[in-house]
Amino acid sequence: MAYLDNIAVFVRVVELGNLSAAGRDMRISPAVASNRIKELEKHLGVRLFNRTTRQLMPTEQGTVFYAGAKQVLEAIVEAEAAVSALSGQPRGSIRVTAPLGLGRRLIASGIPDFHDKYPDIEVRLRLSDHNVDIMKEGIDVAFRLGLLEDSSLRMRGIMECERVLVASPKYLEARGEPADPNDLISKKHDCLMLRFPGSKEFYWTLNTPAGPMKFEVHGPFDSDDGDVLTGWALAGRGIINKPRFEVEPFIRDQRLKVILPATPPTPVQFAAVYPHKKFQDPKVRLLLDFMAERCQRLIKDLLAGR
């Protein structure tokens, strides 16, 4: 078993590029991760990494070993899933990711309930508004708002979510309320955007009488955290484009107002994305079923004010 643990650490070091990241990912210290790599190199009689000050790069032998080691670990996971399916007692761990706001409101609160129902399944939740590389990070299920761009992944739609443009009464009193979408692209209004390295949000798509149209909007600042944008909007700093369920409480108490209701943003698909092979794993199917039903119910409750 120790040899398999060493292989698992080696694979994560290759994928994440350094010992510290791999250690955090596997819940071990960098020192333990380093010792496991040394044990594996001693067993194989080769050096697996070229070490630099910032990153570990696999040697030629390390690259060859990684390809085979990855297949071995995947085969073990598939074998364990098959046994779980036959025994009717799914067990093991699931790596889950979701955007910050959606994860806090819908996913995080359901993890303890899921574990109560299936105590042999561990869930490791990572919340980030960045686009997490599912394959590189070893993610089993990613909950997302938006389109599926990676054709190597599978998607399970959960529900279509209405989006709205909102701003605070304070902001609208100071700047005036936009009369049509073209007002958004003028210097008169500040639009608050969700942006990060690799982000593709440089425009908002609105449903107009002529059909969906893209408007390249601008603002004095942006953030990689959607809840920060909501906080800025509440403080009167600009206009945000949000799934309605996220801002419905603020609309209801009149801290935010829907603007341009005749030309709203296009709806967004709320879905679960996962590698093709993962759906064969019973614990992944159980999580998908559990979260899909729960999220649909919670979103309906948020929109209804319950």
Q: Is domain 2-85 given the CATH code 3.30.70.330 in the classification? A: no
Q: What is the C-alpha separation between 230 and 240, in angstroms, rounded?
A: 7
Q: Which fold has domain 163-266?
A: D-Maltodextrin-Binding Protein; domain 2 (3.40.190)
| CATH number assigned to the domain with residue range 90-161+269-304, chosen from the 4 options 3.40.50.10860, 3.40.1710.10, 3.40.190.10, 3.40.50.150 | 3.40.190.10
Kindly state the tokens that stand for 43.
């067993």
**Residue pLDDT tens, the chain, 306 long:** 688 888 888 888 888 888 888 888 777 888 888 888 888 888 888 888 887 766 788 888 888 888 888 888 777 777 766 666 555 677 888 999 998 888 988 999 999 999 999 998 999 999 888 777 887 778 889 999 876 666 678 888 999 999 999 999 999 999 999 999 999 887 789 999 987 665 666 789 999 988 899 998 988 888 888 899 999 999 999 999 999 999 999 999 999 999 999 999 999 999 998 887 666 688 888 999 999 999 999 999 989 887
Q: Burial of 152 by CB count in 10 Å (0-12 exposed, 13-18 middle, 19+ buried)? A: exposed
Domains 2-85 and 163-266 belong to one CATH topology = no
For the chain, which residues make up each domain, given as ranges? 2-85, 90-161+269-304, 163-266
Q: What is the C-alpha separation between 274 and 116, in angstroms, rounded?
A: 23
Q: What is the C-alpha separation between 54 and 23, in angstroms, rounded?
A: 15
216, HSE (Cβ side, Cα atoms, 13 Å): 1
